[in-house]
């Protein structure tokens, strides 16, 4: 009987810990804030790097200038690449 009670308590504790961890993880996955607009000179620098076919460097530069997430920067760089073509 005591074993059954201990198992029930252990399952309840495991459930509560799982719920707590799930909530903590969902809170940490917030939507990133929008990047700031890049200046015209920053845009020209990034375009120059893209003309040299250095996409990774352009991504890094865009992120440094705008504070964008990797996903936001990749989307912006793709748009800038289209302007070059």
Question: Could you tell me if 51 and 25 lie in one domain?
Answer: no
57-60 long-range Cβ contacts below 8 angstroms, 24+ apart: none
Is residue 77 a part of any domain in this protein? yes
Q: What range defines the domain where residue 54 resides? A: 40-84
Coil/strand/helix, residue 54: coil
Q: How far apart are CA 54 and CA 80, in angstroms?
A: 13
CA dihedral 64, 56, 39, 32 (to 10 degrees): -50
Q: State the pLDDT confidence band at 28, using cuts at 50, 70 and 90.
A: low
Question: Could you tell me if 26 and 46 lie in one domain?
Answer: no
pLDDT, tens digit (0-9, with 9 covering 90-100), for 66-80: 999 999 999 999 999
Is residue 35 a part of any domain in this protein? no
User: Is 14 within 8 Å of 51 (Cβ atoms)?
Assistant: no
pLDDT, tens digit (0-9, with 9 covering 90-100), for 47-57: 999 999 999 99
Is residue 55 a part of any domain in this protein? yes
């Amino acid at each position: 009987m005591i074993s059954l009670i201990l198992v029930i308590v252990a399952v309840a504790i495991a459930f509560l810990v799982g719920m707590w961890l799930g909530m903590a993880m969902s809170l940490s996955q917030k939507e990133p804030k929008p990047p700031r607009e890049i200046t015209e000179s920053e845009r020209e620098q990034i375009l120059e790097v893209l003309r040299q076919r250095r996409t990774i460097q352009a991504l890094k530069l865009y992120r440094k200038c705008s504070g964008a997430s990797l996903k936001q920067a990749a989307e912006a760089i793709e748009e800038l690449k289209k302007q070059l073509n």
